């Protein structure tokens, strides 16, 4: 099989849509995260899926950006760099959660509880180094990047605009977890998940439509009066 730009772009669309579905699905019946839960098989499965989700999301938004480099301009580049870095940072945090936290849950449960608390929007009672700062920067990149990238996609008007708008609104709405602590913060992931599904499908469909359009044959080009100009 010959790997073409169209194939890669369609694959990015599938990656984005899959990431969105995972983002939504992982919020369903999610247990309270603590050191005890970190030692279970369910925790390992969920963390593995979160790593996959972040990787797919990064691949998806990369495909979206490369498809619209000229149309999105500087805002698109800024939004992509910030949003993409946010997803990569999130993936790194999930890798730590998958590979290190289960061991700490046995040897240092208090430390593991503090890390998990900060990672899920809470606060630590002890010293966990620079992790709170890393988690904060990741959140800022995710929020600001999603806002700017969504606006750039909306203005480019190539992919479905409702999903681009929902991406901006959904990421910014995550701030609501700070002012509405009584609301389950996992609900704020659903709009972004839906936006990724919509944008991913739109990217896949747009590339499929482009590939299906018949090109102009050499014979018709020679017969076209415009070709004589």
Instruction: State percent of the chain over pLDDT 90.
Output: 73
Split at pLDDT 50, 70, 90, the class of 121 is: confident
Does residue 62 register a pLDDT over 80? yes
Does residue 59 register a pLDDT over 80? yes
Q: What distance in Å separates the CA atoms of residue 78 and residue 152, rounded to the nearest whole number?
A: 9
Cβ neighbours of residue 20 closer than 8 Å, sequence gap 6 or more: 57, 192, 193, 194, 195, 196, 197, 198, 200
| pLDDT tens digits for range 124-172 | 999 999 999 999 999 999 999 999 999 999 999 999 999 999 999 999 9
Does the pTM surpass 0.75? The reply is yes
- Contact between 65 and 128 (Cβ < 8 Å): no
User: Which own/partner pairs from 105-113 qualify as long-range (CB within 8 Å, at least 24 positions apart)?
Assistant: 105/35, 105/36, 105/38, 105/39, 106/39, 109/35, 110/35, 112/34, 112/35, 112/38, 113/34, 113/35
Higher pLDDT, 180 or 90: 90
Question: Half-sphere exposure (CA, 13 Å, Cβ side) for 164?
Answer: 22
- Average pLDDT estimate for 22-38: 92
- Domain edges within the chain: 5-212
| pLDDT tens digits for range 197-210 | 999 999 999 876 76
């Amino acid at each position: 099989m010959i790997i073409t730009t169209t194939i890669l772009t369609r694959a990015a669309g599938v990656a984005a849509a899959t990431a969105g579905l995972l983002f939504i699905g992982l919020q369903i019946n999610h247990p309270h995260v603590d050191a005890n839960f970190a030692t279970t098989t369910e925790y390992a499965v969920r963390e593995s899926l979160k790593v996959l989700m972040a990787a797919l999301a990064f691949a998806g938004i990369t495909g979206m950006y490369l498809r619209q480099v000229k149309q999105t301009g500087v805002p698109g580049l800024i939004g992509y760099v910030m949003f993409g870095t946010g997803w990569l940072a999130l993936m790194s945090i999930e890798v730590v959660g998958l590979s290190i936290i289960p061991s700490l849950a046995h040897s240092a449960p208090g430390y593991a509880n503090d890390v998990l608390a900060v990672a899920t929007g809470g606060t630590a009672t002890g010293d966990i180094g620079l992790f709170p700062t890393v988690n904060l920067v990741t959140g800022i990149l995710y929020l600001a990047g999603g806002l700017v990238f969504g606006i750039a996609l909306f203005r480019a008007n190539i992919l479905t605009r409702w999903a681009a708008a929902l991406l901006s609104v959904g990421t910014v709405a995550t701030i609501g977890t700070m002012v509405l602590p009584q609301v389950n913060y996992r609900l704020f992931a659903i709009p972004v998940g839906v936006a990724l599904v919509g944008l991913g499908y739109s990217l896949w469909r747009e590339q499929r439509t482009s590939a299906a359009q018949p090109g102009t044959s050499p014979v018709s080009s020679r017969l076209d009066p415009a070709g004589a100009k």
